[in-house]
Amino acid sequence: MTAIMGIVNVTPDSFSDGGRFLDADAAIARGLALRADGATIVDVGGESTRPGAERVDPAIERERVLPVVAALAAEGVIVSIDTMNAATAVAAVEAGARIVNDVSGGLADPGMLAAVAATGADIVLQHWRGPSSDMYAAADYRDVERELIAELQQRVRAAAQAGISPDRVILDPGIGFGKRGGQNWHALRALDRIVALGPRVLVGTSRKRFLAEALVEARAGEGGDLAAVDAAPVDDARRDLATAVTSVLAAQAGAWAVRVHDAASTRDALTVLDRWEHA
């Protein structure tokens, strides 16, 4: 069955749960709760990558995440470190992380790929076209699916040149990163072709704006006022349901794992899919 990667944001400003788990004890408890709810991997991040977010000093990032990584790893949790900084990635692996989840695909820090190669950890290479502070500046595509696949292939080649074999690589189409609205749906429709590239594939749609936009459009009618997403935000319960549906569709397309805030609803959805396929 497709694995579930649970999200722990040890940040004051992440878009969904910023500040709730900034305290290390709260973050550790959250990670353990995610495992109890069905997450087989817990992704710990100390720097928000929401649209408009500014970079965090790597030393502050490490202060936030390393105690959480070490405590969860000591409890037997498979930990992923969500970072764009090579020094943080190395320190987190030394503290017990087994996966480095770099939303920039190794582009933000030129030393990332070589650093991860030396650790022996696996790495998530996400499709990325620029920093969160100006995330949509490069959201200009002639063919979203073709360009996305070509750019992910470039990251696989870069990883190989740095000494990371394809079996250690996990690809992520970067839903919401440098993609507006409908461009995200095109990226998701390319999942079967991304899976066909060979490396494992991680999909992260959890609670993202494009899901809320789809729900608002469905209620308001095609061409509805998407300002309603901000004026009357779609709550987390509805976003989690939409996330669970995309998790099932991603699993059917061959995704290795899905990254979510609410592990329980996605676990239930994937369990139903498993029964459907293997009854």
Picking from 168, 169, 203, the residue whose alpha carbon sits closest to that of residue 187 is 203
Query: Is 208 one of the catalytic residues?
Result: yes
Q: What angle do helix axes 236-252 and 182-189 make, rounded to 10 degrees?
A: 30
Give the active site residue among 207, 239, 259, 267.
Answer: 259
Query: Is 179 one of the catalytic residues?
Result: no
The Cα–Cα gap between 118 and 92 comes to 13
Give the active site residue among 207, 208, 239, 267.
Answer: 208
Tokens read off for 254: 């061959």
Residue 37: C-alpha distances to residues 40, 169, 171 (Å): 9, 26, 25
Return phi, psi of residue 100, to 5°: -105, 120
Phi-psi region of 178 (alpha: psi -120 to 50; beta: other; left: phi over 0): left
Residues marked active site are found at 208, 259
